Amino acid sequence: MPYVVKVKRARLEGISGILHETEIAEYNGREYVLVNLSENLNNDIMFKYLAKLVLCIDLNMPPLVIVNPETSIPKRLEYITNKYGGIVLEANSVILKS
């Protein structure tokens, strides 16, 4: 059964004082910064992930990472995601709702 994740666009101020416009995902009653890597089929996965991770740190919010089941992400990305309280989900098990 797929997980339903509510997504909204938000403008939040980070601890650095910078305003960030990003997608916030609500999953199991908790808010996460959405890191959708399922659309990326080339080598910029690591760059996009690191950029969103910096955003997560500034906003003090965990990442919710969505990946393709065919694409394996490095174990260190899963480790870092878990360390910051985030979750990694496969794209075929998620329904994104606005």
Amino acid at 68: N
Distance CA 70, CA 76 (A): 18
Q: What is the DSSP letter of 91?
A: G
Mean pLDDT confidence for 6-30: 95
Mean pLDDT confidence for 58-68: 94
What is the total count of domains within the chain?
1
> What residues form DSSP beta bridges with 90?
67
**What per-residue confidence (pLDDT) applies to 59?**
97
**CATH code where residue 21 lies:** 3.40.1350.10
**What per-residue confidence (pLDDT) applies to 79?**
92
- The answer to whether residue 72 scores a pLDDT higher than 80 is no
- The answer to whether residue 63 scores a pLDDT higher than 90 is yes
Distance CA 89, CA 84 (A): 15
Supply the range of the domain harboring residue 18: 3-97
Mean pLDDT confidence for 87-95: 90
pLDDT band at 66 (very low <50, low <70, confident <90, very high): very high
